[in-house]
Amino acid sequence: MRNDMKALVKAEPREGLWMQRAPVPEIGPEDVLIKVNRTGICGTDVHIWNWDDWAQRTVPVPLITGHEFAGEIVELGRAVEGLELGQRCSGEGHLIGKTSRQSRAGKFHLDPATRGIGVNEQGAFAQYLRLPAFNVVPLPDAIDDEIGAILDPLGNAVHTALSFDLVGEDVLITGAGPIGIMAAAVARHVGARHVVITDVNPERLELAARVVDVVPVNVAEEELAEVIPRLKMKQGFDVGLEMSGNQRALDQMVEALVMGGRIALLGIPPGKSPVDWSRIVFKAITLKGVYGREIFETWYKMIAMLENGLDVRGVITHRFAVDRFAEGFAAMRSGQSGKVVLDWTGA
Ligand code: ZN
């Protein structure tokens, strides 16, 4: 019998996370219980570790953290159909309501009542996770647990990158964190022409160039205006994917875009930031805010691309057994890492 389990808990309202024993979750009739094999550490988890203003306002204490995971189903609620014990899976960590206009229209990712595992509800940094069967995404054999554990952020990248048609387009990505790098891989995979990624962190740009066929530009050293003629582009970029939340990056993007360019915004600015709206109006630029993943269209596209040659494994730079989680968080907090994956199989 499973009675209790290891879990990484925000146990106290201060910096840090603590490995504790917690009861194995009890599942309802429409839930499954998942034995967690691998988890990814997200920037969100680092905010929760740091216990910054956002975390203090958002996260209840105590809470099992974590939302990026892969594992296998070990228990099925009695009303669950179409899933089997032993099924390998990942899953959508946004728990949605079913009554809003958006949900009833099938636009589940736009449901205003969404709650996140590991943020508002008990999370995936544990040996076992309860999840509504609705949220389960079965994994094909071609996708191992390590990649399965980073499908949530890859989904952010896919959702952002597929916001606009990229076939034959010149694409500018601002922010060479793991999601920016994965978005570059997606842009390449779907047939963009030039893919340029900017940052001011040389390690991240190096990682980007190692993982994807992309042009890295350190905007602390080089102007985008010089890159455009170097790549023999006539006016500028057709599509921008803003992944940094940095105001200067957005300004640079607007300047580097063609008339009628399109921008998908995933990066979150730390607070209010001044925007030169007249430039956006006069350049007739379309802006789209991106939240989460389309449920489940993003998952479908992402898995299909992974089965068909999309390779993002290089973005994982650190792997630790879960008992060494503190080293994983240290790597994340250094700002020098790509994705960090924790292994729960020996927990
Ligand atoms: Zn995440």
Q: What is the CATH number of the domain that holds 74?
A: 3.90.180.10
With respect to residue 36, please indicate whether it lies within any of the assigned structural domains.
yes
> Residues 284, 172: one domain?
yes
Domain end residue (candidates: 289, 304, 332): 289
Element of type H or E holding 320? strand 316-321
Q: How many domains does the chain have?
A: 2
Q: Tell me the C-alpha distance between 123 and 224, whole Å.
A: 41
Tell me the average pLDDT across 207-236. Answer: 96
> Residues 170, 145: one domain?
no
Q: Give the active site residues.
A: 44, 47
Element of type H or E holding 158? helix 151-161
Domain end residue (candidates: 258, 274, 289): 289
- Centre of ligand 1 to C-alpha 53, Å, is 18
Beta strands in 164-236, from DSSP E residues, in sequence order: 171-174, 195-199, 215-218
- Centre of ligand 1 to C-alpha 153, Å, is 5
With respect to residue 298, please indicate whether it lies within any of the assigned structural domains.
no
pLDDT by residue (tens digit) across 32-55?
999 999 999 999 999 999 999 999
Domain end residue (candidates: 274, 289, 304): 289
> Residues 100, 76: one domain?
yes
- Centre of ligand 1 to C-alpha 3, Å, is 28
Answer whether residue 2 shows pLDDT above 90. Answer: no
- Centre of ligand 1 to C-alpha 66, Å, is 8
pLDDT by residue (tens digit) across 167-206?
999 999 999 999 999 999 999 999 999 999 999 999 999 9
> Residues 68, 107: one domain?
yes
- Centre of ligand 1 to C-alpha 227, Å, is 32
- Centre of ligand 1 to C-alpha 265, Å, is 16
> Residues 118, 226: one domain?
no
In DSSP terms, which residues pair with 72 in a beta bridge? 35, 88
With respect to residue 296, please indicate whether it lies within any of the assigned structural domains.
no
DSSP state of 247: H
Q: How confident is the model at residue 1 (pLDDT cuts 50, 70, 90)?
A: low
What phi and psi values does residue 311 have, to the nearest 5 degrees? -125, 115
- Centre of ligand 1 to C-alpha 240, Å, is 21
> Residues 106, 16: one domain?
yes
- Centre of ligand 1 to C-alpha 274, Å, is 27
Q: What is the pLDDT at residue 251?
A: 96
Helix axes 151-161, 178-189, angle to 10 degrees: 60
> Residues 212, 278: one domain?
yes
> Residues 124, 10: one domain?
yes
Long-range contacts of 285-291, Cβ-Cβ distance < 8 Å, separation of 24 or more: 285/254, 285/257, 285/260, 285/261, 286/260, 286/261, 286/262, 287/263, 288/163, 288/164, 288/262, 288/263, 288/264, 289/265, 290/156, 290/159, 290/160, 290/163, 290/264, 290/265, 290/266, 291/109, 291/110
Q: Which amino acid is at 227?
A: V
**Residue indicated by tokens 């350190």:** 218
Q: What is the pLDDT at residue 270?
A: 87
With respect to residue 304, please indicate whether it lies within any of the assigned structural domains.
no
pLDDT by residue (tens digit) across 54-95?
999 999 999 999 999 999 999 999 999 999 999 999 999 999
Q: How confident is the model at residue 13 (pLDDT cuts 50, 70, 90)?
A: very high
Which strand ranges, in their side-by-side order, compose the sheet holding 195-199? 215-218, 195-199, 171-174, 237-242, 257-265, 286-289
Q: Tell me the C-alpha distance between 96 and 305, whole Å.
A: 26
Structural domain that includes position 165: 157-289
Q: What is the pLDDT at residue 347?
A: 87
With respect to residue 249, please indicate whether it lies within any of the assigned structural domains.
yes
